[in-house]
Amino acid sequence: MGPLGEIEALGFGALWLGGSPSLVEARAYLEATTTLTVATGILNVWRHEPADVAAGHADLRLDFGERFLLGVGIGHPEATSEYQKPLSKMRDFLDGLDNADRPVPRDERAVAALGPKMLELAAERSLGAHPYFTTVEHTRVARERIGPSALLAPELAVVLDPEAESGRAHARAFAASYLRMTNYKGNLVRLGFSERDVADGGSDRLIDAVIAHGSAEAIAETVHAHLEAGADHVCLQPVGHGTEQVDDYRALARALL
> Tens digits of per-residue pLDDT, 158-198?
999 999 999 999 999 999 999 999 999 999 999 999 999 99
CA dist., res. 132 & res. 54, Å (int): 24
Q: What is the pLDDT of residue 132?
A: 98
Q: Are residues 63 and 165 in the same domain?
A: no
Q: Are residues 7 and 103 in the same domain?
A: yes
Q: Could you give the number of structural domains in the chain? A: 2
Q: Hey, CA dihedral for 139, 239, 186, 112, is it positive or negative?
A: negative
Q: What is the pLDDT of residue 114?
A: 98
Helix 50-64 and helix 86-99: axis angle, to 10°? Answer: 50
Distance of CA 125 to the CA centre of its chain: 18
The mean pLDDT of the chain is 95
Q: Are residues 50 and 106 in the same domain?
A: yes
Average the pLDDT over 139-152 and give the result.
98
Please indicate, yes or no, if residue 130 is contained in any of the structural domains: no
Residue 252 has pLDDT above 90, yes or no: yes
Please indicate, yes or no, if residue 138 is contained in any of the structural domains: no
| Confidence bin at 84 (pLDDT 50/70/90) | confident
Q: Are residues 10 and 85 in the same domain?
A: yes
| Confidence bin at 240 (pLDDT 50/70/90) | confident
Q: Are residues 256 and 176 in the same domain?
A: yes
Residue 156 has pLDDT above 70, yes or no: yes
Average the pLDDT over 218-224 and give the result.
98
Average the pLDDT over 103-121 and give the result.
98
From 51, 81, 112, the end of a domain falls on: 112
pTM of the model: 0.96
Q: Are residues 95 and 15 in the same domain?
A: yes
- Count the Cβ atoms, other than its own, within 10 Å of residue 43: 26
Q: Are residues 99 and 176 in the same domain?
A: no
Q: Are residues 98 and 160 in the same domain?
A: no
Q: Which domain holds residue 24?
A: 1-112
Please indicate, yes or no, if residue 121 is contained in any of the structural domains: no
Geometric angle at alpha carbon 256, from 12 and 151, rounded to 5° = 60
| Helix, strand, coil fractions of the chain, as percent rounded to 5 | 50, 15, 35
Please indicate, yes or no, if residue 220 is contained in any of the structural domains: yes
Residue 61 has pLDDT above 90, yes or no: yes
CA dist., res. 182 & res. 67, Å (int): 33
CA dist., res. 56 & res. 108, Å (int): 13
From 112, 131, 146, the end of a domain falls on: 112
Please indicate, yes or no, if residue 225 is contained in any of the structural domains: yes
Q: What is the pLDDT of residue 77?
A: 81
Please indicate, yes or no, if residue 123 is contained in any of the structural domains: no
Q: Taking the CA atoms of the chain, what radius of gyration do you get in angstroms?
A: 18
CA dist., res. 147 & res. 163, Å (int): 38
Please indicate, yes or no, if residue 120 is contained in any of the structural domains: no
Average the pLDDT over 210-237 and give the result.
98
Helix 216-229 and helix 246-256: axis angle, to 10°? Answer: 60
- Count the Cβ atoms, other than its own, within 10 Å of residue 247: 12
Q: Are residues 105 and 162 in the same domain?
A: no
Q: Hey, CA dihedral for 151, 13, 221, 21, is it positive or negative?
A: negative
Please indicate, yes or no, if residue 194 is contained in any of the structural domains: yes
Average the pLDDT over 46-68 and give the result.
98
Judge contact between 159 and 218, C-beta under 8 A: no
Q: What is the pLDDT of residue 1?
A: 65
Residue 10 has pLDDT above 70, yes or no: yes
Q: Are residues 171 and 254 in the same domain?
A: yes
Average the pLDDT over 212-231 and give the result.
98
Average the pLDDT over 30-42 and give the result.
97
| Confidence bin at 81 (pLDDT 50/70/90) | low
Q: What is the pLDDT of residue 78?
A: 74
From residue 34, how far is each of 24, 153, 159, 249 by CA, in Å? 17, 22, 28, 18
DSSP characters for 8-55? Answer: HHTT--EEEE-SS--HHHHHHHHHT-SS-EEEES-EETTSS-HHHHHH
